[in-house]
Amino acid sequence: MYDAEGRGLAGPQVGWGERIVTLDVTGEREGERVFLNPAIVHREGETELEEGCLGLPGVRVHIARAARVRVLAYTLKGERLEMEAEGLAACAWQHEMDHLNGLLIIDRLPPTTLIALRDQLRRLEQEARDRASG
């Protein structure tokens, strides 16, 4: 995640079926960064920020998200956490929750944007096939 300048990573992105997220929006590597069974329990407002995804290198798109969220989660020690996030942190939480629910950023795009990204997405798909067969 850090090597690719990512802000978060969800279990399904690395082949884990568990509902686990690591999140470090600041990149400072301080504080709690691994969360189990997270749930967004409140959303408020709306914002649109440019997002990328470690699973779709080079793809950058604007996604509408809630501007503020309240998240419940557990630490690796089983402690219950409740936290508020806004701005980039709120978007990151929603992005990682999408991964836990089987969604990618491209699943939130209108058809016209997908058409504009078609060549880039096909190239990424071919690269993935080449890695899998090679």
**CA-based nearest residue to 104, from 124, 81, 133:** 124
| Given 50, 96, 125, 127, the catalytic residue | 96
Q: Is 41 left (phi over 0), alpha (psi -120 to 50) or beta?
A: alpha
96 flagged as catalytic: yes
**CA-based nearest residue to 85, from 72, 73, 68, 64:** 68
- For the annotated catalytic residues, the residue numbers are 96
